[in-house]
Chains A and B, each alone.
Chain A
Amino acid sequence: DTEVTQTPKHLVMGMTNKKSLKCEQHMGHRAMYWYKQKAKKPPELMFVYSYEKLSINESVPSRFSPECPNSSLLNLHLHALQPEDSALYLCASSQGAPDRVSEGYTFGSGTRLTVV
């Protein structure tokens, strides 16, 4: 299995809603990532989990809350989002450092989020 699976593919939520994005990989990768991407722009790193511990938080607002229940799963909990948070949210996984330097990351297809 060489895929990163994200659900749901599309999500529309109101500014008072609570929702969660899910990501799963079965490649034995020990690092998992959340990215935010606006149309035709490069992905922006949000969070990094390494060996199931949060290792990088790129100053993301607290309305985004990541969770890594185990080495295969990554969640992103959403609460009180703003319309400007509408974007494609990508999950990725990789080997731990230093192997990820040469191997790169595997990305999922993303969740397209619309906040209304």
Chain B
Amino acid sequence: GNSVTQMEGPVTLSEEAFLTINCTYTATGYPSLFWYVQYPGEGLQLLLKATKADDKGSNKGFEATYRKETTSFHLEKGSVQVSDSAVYFCALSSIYNQGGKLIFGQGTELSVKP
């Protein structure tokens, strides 16, 4: 079945450090891939997405590239800020799985220290 695996957290970084959160997936067909972010006390916000192989999603300095050969969608940011502290969820959606049901990874908590 379809699944998403994320690196375990929590991840603690100093401000301006480079961030990578690993995400790999298993899916039937050609899924779309997403990163959602959840700030403390809030709902989930779509951070970026990619819908086909080699697409790069980007937003707010974050990037992720859809790598079909390695079934990965790693999230990166060159210089993190304290305001980036949140929980990040990788997710996929495939028409072959209940018509596009969103499948989430376990989430990775990021804490950025000043």
Contacts and interface: CB of A to CB of B under 8 A. Distances in A.
Contact of A109 (B36, B43, B107): B43
A110 B42 contact: yes
Q: Name the prevailing secondary structure of the A interface residues.
A: mixed
A56 B98 contact: yes
A40 B49 CA distance: 21
B95 interface: yes
A104 B49 CA distance: 8
A42 B43 contact: no
A80 interface: no
Given A109-B42, A109-B43, A101 B95 contact: yes
B82 to A, nearest CB: 19
B113 interface: no
B109 interface: yes
Given A107-B43, A107-B44, A109-B42, A101 B100 contact: yes
Interface residues of B, number: 27
Given A107-B45, A109-B42, A45 B101 contact: yes
Contacts of B99: 97-98, 100
B32 interface: yes
30 contacts: A6-B43, A40-B87, A40-B107, A41-B107, A42-B89, A42-B105, A42-B106, A42-B107, A43-B44, A56-B101, A90-B44, A97-B95, A98-B99, A101-B31, A101-B32, A101-B51, A101-B95, A101-B100, A102-B32, A102-B49, A102-B51, A102-B93, A104-B34, A104-B46, A104-B49, A104-B91, A104-B93, A107-B45, A109-B42, A110-B43
Interface of B: 31-32, 34, 36, 42-46, 49, 51, 87, 89, 91, 93-95, 98-102, 104-107, 109
